[in-house]
Amino acid sequence: MGWMDRLLSLIGFDVEEEVVEPDPAEAADNEPPGGLRRGVRAQRGPEPVGRAGRGGQIVPLTGSTRTQRVVIARPRTFEEVQEVAEHLKNRRPLILNLEDTDKDTAQRILNFLSGTIYALNGEMHRIASGVVFFAPQNVETVIDREFPRRD
């Protein structure tokens, strides 16, 4: 890398070799041998944090950049429970609100989903009367012991 390349790099330009396909309409006399042309391009922004040189790998500084979604479900009938169980199978945390569901149907839904979360090695926590939190295996739950439980 020459001094001109370093200067261009300092002001935001990066010099790189690029392969240019010859256009049949243009004369072949202007092209250097091998189809290589030296070009200057503007950088699109700063390099990602964690990049180790030009040939290095990008190493994320944080865990996953994906956003974790929590599903809130209010099933009214037992027929809706399979759709709710699909969220657990896809490893999404679930808040189940059974306050508006009749007692027998709510018990059937709760039995079905507790079996589902058990099969997935997850956890089930009662939040309030009629509200239950299901945490799949990939979700860590922390229970705060400072607040007294009301049963």
pLDDT for residue 147 is more than 80: no
Q: In the CATH scheme, what is the code of domain 71-135? A: 3.30.110.150
pLDDT digits (tens, 9 = 90+) for 116-140: 999 999 999 999 999 999 999 988 8
Distances (CA, A) of 42 to 5, 37, 38, 58: 13, 16, 14, 21
Q: Domain boundaries in the chain?
A: 1-66, 71-135
pLDDT digits (tens, 9 = 90+) for 26-57: 555 555 555 545 544 444 445 445 444 455 56
Residues 6 or more apart whose CB falls under 8 angstroms from that of 14 comprise 8, 40, 41, 42, 43
Can you tell me the distance from the alpha carbon of 1 to that of 6, in angstroms, rounded to the nearest whole number?
7
The pLDDT of residue 53 is 47
Yes or no: say if 35 and 22 are a contact pair by the CB < 8 Å rule: yes
